[in-house]
Amino acid sequence: MNLLFAPYFQYKVWERLMQETDAESLLETQGKVDVEKEQVLGAFKHVFMHDFAVCFYFFALIGSFTWSSYGYDWVMRDPSNCNPGGGLSFAANVGWAFFYVAVLYTLAWMCCGCCAKATTIKKPGYEEVEAEEEPTGELGQPLSSEP
């Protein structure tokens, strides 16, 4: 579930950015659309607060954390019989880790914006052409045939 949610969420944020910036129509006339950090952060917040799958994942993550807590308690009551190789307690710790990583990641995006940055939406096949520099001589003067 956790591995499927990350690309889904990224796709939904990108889709929201495309809508907010009207990128499809702008890309018809321009080769690229610059997106400010605030727009990226706004798209993240909108998807987080309004998408049904995000709501489902939120509650599933809380359920996973709770199940991991109960599982760890059950296993550690009799570790020699219930957790001989340590695999079950490790699985419970992974469940906790998924929860804490998701919470910290969300707080970083929602509160401080340190994860967001400006981006560029480019038309497929778009390449920026760099200006060619004029060759220069030893003193930095342009080479020309004129004296």
pLDDT per residue as tens digits for the range 86-126: 898 999 999 999 999 999 988 888 887 677 777 777 777 66
129 falls within a domain: no
118 falls within a domain: yes
Calpha distance 83→73 (Å, rounded): 11
21 falls within a domain: yes
pLDDT in tens, 48-96: 999 999 999 999 999 999 999 999 999 899 888 888 888 989 999 999 9
8 falls within a domain: yes
Kindly give, in sequence order, each residue whose CB lies less than 8 Å from that of residue 37, ignoring residues fewer than 6 positions away: 113, 116, 117, 118
Domain housing 107: 2-122
